[in-house]
Chain A
Amino acid sequence: KNEVEQSPQNLTAQEGEFITINCSYSVGISALHWLQQHPGGGIVSLFMLSSGKKKHRRLIATINIQEKHSSLHITASHPRDSAVYICAVTAGSTGTASKLTFGTGTRLQVTL
């Protein structure tokens, strides 16, 4: 079993829909990261979370440390949101140069 599990693996939505991507992890972490990768593109860091909730424009990320679970929400989805969304965690305590452990990603396709 992977330390970081994402669901769903693939997701198709129509423009305007509300989207949720889930991430569960099995280790103690200092932070959880949500990353975005467009087809053939580089990786962009969207959020870094250690508790609670963060919001940026139409993206919202939440984390529940007790349940070892995080969600990424996209409100009013748009075709330009089509990308692979990757959840990653830095294990261990804060202040250590911990390494990232990645989920396998969720491929999102938003159609008109």
Chain B
Amino acid sequence: NAGVTQTPKFQVLKTGQSMTLQCAQDMNHEYMSWYRQDPGMGLRLIHYSVGAGITDQGEVPNGYNVSRSTTEDFPLRLLSAAPSQTSVYFCASSYTWDGIYGYTFGSGTRLTVV
């Protein structure tokens, strides 16, 4: 199993450009989520999905869109990149064990918006 695969690992965008961060998992996990990590702030939830066709907003959703057409894939779209979106992005998928959710994280995408 590959686990959670994120692409690309690094990306530089110009202000106003759009792009999609890819996230795929091969563990048949229902729950997937996107986080951003900024210095001194800890990780914050952007969007999450509890299954194919179902998505919801997290703590910092503005400027991002998601969709979940399959169980495996959960792409994150930046509609019009802004310097404030410079961050490291992590995708995670979750499994349940005895009613508790455990998490597997991708390796991250480092995004710079200039």
List the interface of chain A (C-beta within 8 A of B): 2, 4, 30-31, 33, 35, 41-45, 48, 50, 86, 88, 90, 94-95, 97-100, 102-105
Contact = CB atoms under 8 A, between A and B. Distances in A.
B112 to A, nearest CB: 14
A45 B100 contact: no
Give the most central of A43, A50, A88: most B CB within 10 Å: A43
Interface stretch (B17-25, B65-73, B78-86, B101-109): B101-109
A37 B40 CA distance: 14
A88 B45 CA distance: 12
Contact of B45 (A94, A99, A105): A99
Nearest to B48: A99
Contacts of A103: 42
A102 B99 contact: no
Interface string B14-50: 0000000000000000110101000011111100101
A41 B105 CA distance: 11
A43 B58 CA distance: 19
B48 A43 contact: no
Contact of A86 (B30, B42, B92, B96): B42
A100 B45 contact: yes
A86 B43 contact: yes
Interface of B: 30-31, 33, 35, 40-45, 48, 50, 58, 90, 92, 94, 96-108
Contacts of A33: 102-103
Contacts of A98: 101
Contacts of B41: 104
A103 B42 CA distance: 6
A103 B40 CA distance: 10
A88 B42 CA distance: 10
A76 to B, nearest CB: 27
A45 B43 contact: no
Contact of A42 (B40, B96, B107): B107
A90 B45 contact: no
A25 to B, nearest CB: 13
Contacts of B103: 33, 45, 100
